[in-house]
């Protein structure tokens, strides 16, 4: 099967959050299984070009009409591990993808709707026709309506799949944005359900895609409700029959403590390994973290958080967790990507406190790996969480997750004290209510177990390290869905 992924992030060369990891891990697994996969991205200036091989031009002069004017684009190809990347360079005078960042520009809807149309123009000139075009989140959602309204007679793909990685971001924009690209703005399927005179790009993707997926079964159920549906619950309900929840995985080669180049000391967590060696290695990694953050070297639990600092991730509960950890004699390290939230300063005030707190407001891939390996616990008090990857990475690195039971966290983290799953599946501490008492419920028990019952702690670590959250099974589920669409298309022909 030939699958074309069209997206706006890819780990590790152009990563903002989990979307980049998913593109990388899922695509690699599909290639391993013998499928042909291309990943099409904007040719950003911020891509880490050192990691790419064989960068060369594939197509020149791909025309894309915007507001009556033709803009030219160049298509590049290159390799990353076993993946082939296609990079679309826009020659638009506004230099859409030379902004030193991936998202966060005032004209983001303009940049990405342009990319969506240029991607289809590229496809119309491309030598192969994809069986499946897989698009991701609002930035590429417009591809589904654009394809069906304007391109279907020029290119015939087998099916379009849209994955919602996070329903919070919907790409709301002015009608002119799509009118410029030749789409009628008077289309009820593209309108925001609540805001007048507003286009909702994600809604357009949901309405027009042949299938819509989201990244965990629990999140799938949650966003069908008014409470969690962020204004699109009724749209999703109307398309229930083509809506699926498929749990994400992690790339187990990239996130492998046995080979991870960013660790001070590597360790095995699969096959034959000794827990003693894991503890020893985690101690060595912890020394590096202590050096980096100027922390005391002491035998106390290290609680970590590795997150984008946005309201979704519960920064107020992280701050509370930090304070409570200190009161209980532990250490706390936050690696938080800065999203200009005022709360950032509240964290920084604690930096260095008694040699027990480390705060880094940055996106730092290398440091994140070291911290996953060094910590005892990872605190994830999300308000909502479509899937969440940090808990899966933590498990692999022998770090016990403390997580709120929501979305994908509820599908992957099972409380040490629950009777709902067999003892060997229990791998962390969970809480239900998004408040300080809730967070305390998980944190207090975790700290007590760590301090008083190391045998139990070891059991939890082992359970987590043994679990398979690789892409093997989720990629199979994607393939099942792709095949279903192709069969439907063949029957309709």
Query: Per CB under 6 A, does 388 bind ligand ADP?
Result: yes
**CB under 8 Å to 272, separation ≥6 — which residues?**
none
Tokens of residue 280, six digits? 């020893």
Region binding ligand ADP by CB under 6 A among candidate stretches 17-25, 277-285, 411-419, 479-487: 17-25
Residue reference for tokens 């005030």: 349
Query: Per CB under 6 A, does 363 bind ligand ADP?
Result: yes
In angstroms, rounded to a whole number, what is the distance separating the alpha carbons of residues 221 and 229? 9
In angstroms, rounded to a whole number, what is the distance separating the alpha carbons of residues 25 and 33? 12
Query: Per CB under 6 A, does 383 bind ligand ADP?
Result: no
Query: Per CB under 6 A, does 368 bind ligand ADP?
Result: yes
Between 173 and 389, name the residue whose CB sits nearer to ligand ADP: 389
Query: Per CB under 6 A, does 257 bind ligand ADP?
Result: no
Query: Per CB under 6 A, does 407 bind ligand ADP?
Result: no
User: How many chain residues bind ligand ADP (CB under 6 A)?
Assistant: 18
Query: Per CB under 6 A, does 337 bind ligand ADP?
Result: yes
Query: Per CB under 6 A, does 428 bind ligand ADP?
Result: no
User: Taking CB under 6 A as the criterion, which residues in 303-332 touch ligand ADP?
Assistant: 306-308
Region binding ligand ADP by CB under 6 A among candidate stretches 217-225, 384-392, 413-421, 440-448: 384-392
Smallest gap from Cβ 92 to ligand ADP, in A, equals: 28
Which of 173, 211, 232, 335 binds ligand ADP (CB under 6 A)? It is: 335
Which residue number is nearest to ligand ADP in terms of Cβ?
18
**CB under 8 Å to 122, separation ≥6 — which residues?**
40, 59, 62, 73, 75, 86, 88
User: Taking CB under 6 A as the criterion, which residues in 278-307 touch ligand ADP?
Assistant: 306-307
Between 322 and 393, name the residue whose CB sits nearer to ligand ADP: 393
Which of 349, 365, 473, 476 binds ligand ADP (CB under 6 A)? It is: 365
Between 27 and 337, name the residue whose CB sits nearer to ligand ADP: 337
Which of 17, 25, 42, 204 binds ligand ADP (CB under 6 A)? It is: 17
Q: Are strands 357-361 and 377-380 parallel, antiparallel or unpaired?
A: unpaired
Between 202 and 393, name the residue whose CB sits nearer to ligand ADP: 393
Which of 336, 358, 401, 474 binds ligand ADP (CB under 6 A)? It is: 336
Between 208 and 471, name the residue whose CB sits nearer to ligand ADP: 471
Between 77 and 256, name the residue whose CB sits nearer to ligand ADP: 256
**Which residues are at the interface with ligand ADP (CB under 6 A)?**
17-18, 21, 306-308, 335-337, 363-365, 368, 387-390, 393
């Amino acid at each position: 099967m030939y699958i074309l992924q069209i997206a706006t992030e890819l780990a590790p060369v152009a990563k903002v959050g989990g979307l980049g990891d998913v593109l990388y891990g899922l695509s690699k697994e599909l290639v391993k299984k013998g499928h042909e996969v291309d990943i099409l991205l904007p040719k950003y200036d911020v891509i880490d070009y050192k990691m790419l091989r064989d960068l060369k031009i594939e197509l020149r002069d791909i025309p894309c009409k915007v507001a009556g004017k033709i803009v030219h684009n160049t298509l590049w190809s290159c390799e990353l591990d076993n993946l082939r990347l296609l990079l679309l360079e826009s020659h638009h005078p506004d230099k859409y993808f030379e902004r030193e960042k991936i998202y966060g520009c005032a004209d983001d809807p303009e940049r990405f709707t342009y990319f969506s149309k240029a991607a289809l123009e590229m496809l119309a000139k491309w030598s192969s026709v994809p069986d499946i075009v897989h698009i991701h989140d609002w930035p590429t959602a417009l591809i589904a309506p654009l394809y069906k309204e304007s391109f279907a007679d020029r290119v015939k793909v087998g099916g379009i799949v849209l994955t919602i990685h996070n329903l919070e971001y919907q790409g709301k924009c002015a009608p002119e944005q799509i009118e410029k690209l030749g789409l009628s703005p008077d289309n009820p399927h593209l309108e925001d359900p609540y805001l007048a005179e507003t286009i909702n790009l994600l809604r357009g993707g949901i309405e027009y895609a042949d299938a819509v997926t989201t990244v965990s079964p629990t999140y799938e159920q949650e966003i069908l409700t008014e409470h969690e549906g962020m204004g699109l619950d009724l749209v999703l309900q109307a398309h229930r029959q083509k809506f699926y929840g498929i749990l994400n995985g992690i790339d187990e080669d990239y996130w492998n403590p046995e080979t991870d180049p960013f660790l001070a000391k590597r360790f095995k967590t699969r096959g034959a390994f000794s827990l003693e060696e894991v503890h020893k290695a985690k101690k060595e990694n912890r020394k590096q973290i202590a050096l980096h953050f100027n922390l005391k070297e002491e035998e106390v639990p290290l609680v970590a958080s590795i997150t984008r600092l946005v309201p979704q991730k519960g920064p107020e509960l992280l701050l509370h967790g930090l304070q409570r950890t200190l009161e209980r004699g532990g250490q706390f390290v936050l690696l938080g990507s800065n999203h200009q939230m005022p709360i950032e300063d509240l964290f920084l005030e604690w930096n260095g406190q008694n040699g027990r707190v480390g705060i880094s407001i940055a996106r730092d891939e290398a440091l994140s790996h070291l911290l996953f390996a060094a910590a005892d616990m990872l605190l994830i008090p999300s308000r909502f969480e479509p899937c969440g990857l940090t808990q899966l990475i933590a498990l692999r690195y022998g770090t016990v997750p403390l997580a709120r039971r929501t979305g994908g966290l509820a599908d992957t983290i099972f409380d040490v004290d629950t009777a709902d799953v067999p003892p060997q599946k229990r791998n962390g501490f969970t809480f239900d209510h998004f408040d300080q008492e809730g967070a305390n419920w998980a944190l207090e028990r975790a700290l007590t177990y760590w301090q008083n019952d190391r045998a139990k702690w070891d059991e939890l670590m082992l359970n987590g390290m043994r679990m398979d959250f690789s892409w093997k099974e989720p990629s199979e589920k994607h393939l099942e869905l792709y095949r279903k669409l192709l069969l439907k298309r063949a029957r309709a022909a």
